[in-house]
């Protein structure tokens, strides 16, 4: 059996509704986070078994009650190299560096983004003076922002600083605040959004507020500005503060209360069409020119892991978000 070390093991049992389906189609339906073409390649390469025997024919027809095991081999990340990429450095000392990340910059190499990332830029700028706790593929990286979210990030230059920062992220003692422009305006000027976040049961590539499972998530928000005409407000500038740090937390939570972030290509497109019917021509033009979600990490504050002093930094809203206001 082809079962490499550190492989992810997935199991599926054929139900009556899949009787006679192709093996690759059945597995793709059950494991939506993996494409059918990817699963087909894994079958051919011997990563699927049933009753202890390999199955290498993607077109094999499955039968009710059959149990299949799919091994997803761990990808060996390439070791990133330094690349000259302009950085907006807000603060830097011998232990850490604060970057104001632009939208469009991926934090670390991953499939589909092997280079030209923040990590490549940090290696070029800092050389060997980055923490190694994150591994060779993510030197210095303590936390991350989505590719199309702009704003402040901290990276560690040594392992002691990394551990101190990571602890503050873990116990949620840092100050982290974001500003987002959302469709519609929340009814209450300030409030909290609380709901477990997990994989969307209908689309495993997305996150969602789920009734069962998931991880506890809590977001506090405050409406800073109502955007629109005298008679109608079609958007709002909202400040969000995280009490937890889940994947896509702010984007998912705001969508869950009916106010998706403007420009978000993944969450809330249906609501966006409904809420954006009566906007002004100027506002619609600003939305059309926005090439990402209107989300910016404008504040980060923490205890310096070496000096013990409280430090805090703020970043102004980028011009592409300002045009919405």
CATH of the domain at 29: 3.10.290.10
Q: Is the pLDDT of residue 3 over 60?
A: no
Residue 14, in any domain of the structure: yes
Last residue of a domain, one of 136, 171, 206: 171
Task: Show Cβ contacts of residue 168 under 8 Å, excluding neighbours closer than 6 positions.
Answer: 174, 302, 303, 305
Catalytic choice (100, 146, 148, 264): 146
Residue 325, in any domain of the structure: no
Q: Is the pLDDT of residue 32 over 80?
A: no
Same domain assignment for residues 24 and 114? no
Question: Whose structure tokens read 């926005």?
Answer: 290
Last residue of a domain, one of 42, 72, 102: 72
Same domain assignment for residues 106 and 186? no
What is the model's pLDDT at position 1?
46
What is the model's pLDDT at position 270?
54
d(CA 322, CA 211): 36
| Among 35-44, 90-99, 270-279, 285-294, the range of highest mean pLDDT | 90-99
Condensed to tens digits (0 to 9), the pLDDT of residues 41-76 reads: 899 999 999 999 999 999 999 999 999 999 988 766
Active-site residue, 146 included: yes
Q: Of 51, 50, 35, 185, give the one whose Cα is nearest residue 111.
A: 35
Same domain assignment for residues 145 and 185? no
Give the domain extent around 101.
89-171
Cβ neighbours of 110 (radius 10 Å): 14
d(CA 271, CA 267): 9
Same domain assignment for residues 99 and 197? no
Q: Is the pLDDT of residue 96 over 60?
A: yes
If pLDDT is split at 50, 70 and 90, which confidence band does 269 have? low
CA distances to 83, 155, 208, 215, 226 from 198, in Å: 35, 27, 6, 6, 31
Q: Is the pLDDT of residue 77 over 80?
A: no
Same domain assignment for residues 139 and 218? no
Same domain assignment for residues 201 and 116? no
Task: Show Cβ contacts of residue 77 under 8 Å, excluding neighbours closer than 6 positions.
Answer: 109, 135, 136, 137
Same domain assignment for residues 41 and 139? no
């Amino acid at each position: 059996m082809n079962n490499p070390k550190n492989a992810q093991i997935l199991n599926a049992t054929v139900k009556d509704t899949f009787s006679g389906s192709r093996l690759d189609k059945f597995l793709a339906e059950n494991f939506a986070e993996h494409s059918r073409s990817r699963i087909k390649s894994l079958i051919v390469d011997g990563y699927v078994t049933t009753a202890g025997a390999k199955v290498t024919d993607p077109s094999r027809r499955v039968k009710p009650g059959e149990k299949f095991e799919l091994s997803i081999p761990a990808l060996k990340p390439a070791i990133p190299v330094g690349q000259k990429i302009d950085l907006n450095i807000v603060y830097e000392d011998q232990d850490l560096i604060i970057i104001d990340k632009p939208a469009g910059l991926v934090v670390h190499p991953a499939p589909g983004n092997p280079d030209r990332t923040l990590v490549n830029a940090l290696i070029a700028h800092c050389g060997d003076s980055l923490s190694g706790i994150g591994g060779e593929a993510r030197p210095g990286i303590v936390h991350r922002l989505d590719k199309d979210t702009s704003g402040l990030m901290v990276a560690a230059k040594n392992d002691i600083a990394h551990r101190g920062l990571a602890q503050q992220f873990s116990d949620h003692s840092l100050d982290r605040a974001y500003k987002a422009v959302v469709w519609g305006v929340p009814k209450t000027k300030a409030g909290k959004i609380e709901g477990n976040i997990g994989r969307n049961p209908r689309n495993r590539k997305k996150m969602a507020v789920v009734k069962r499972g998931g991880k506890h998530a809590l977001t506090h928000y405050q409406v800073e500005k109502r955007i629109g005409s005298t008679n109608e407000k079609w958007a709002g500038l909202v400040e969000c503060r995280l009490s937890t740090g889940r994947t896509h937390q702010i984007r998912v939570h705001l969508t869950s209360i009916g106010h998706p972030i403007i420009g978000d290509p993944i969450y809330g497109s249906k609501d966006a069409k409904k809420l954006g019917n009566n906007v002004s021509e100027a506002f619609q033009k600003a939305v059309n020119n926005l090439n990402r979600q209107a989300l910016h990490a404008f504040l980060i504050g923490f205890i310096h892991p070496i000096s013990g002093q409280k430090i805090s930094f703020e970043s102004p809203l980028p011009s592409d978000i300002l045009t919405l206001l």
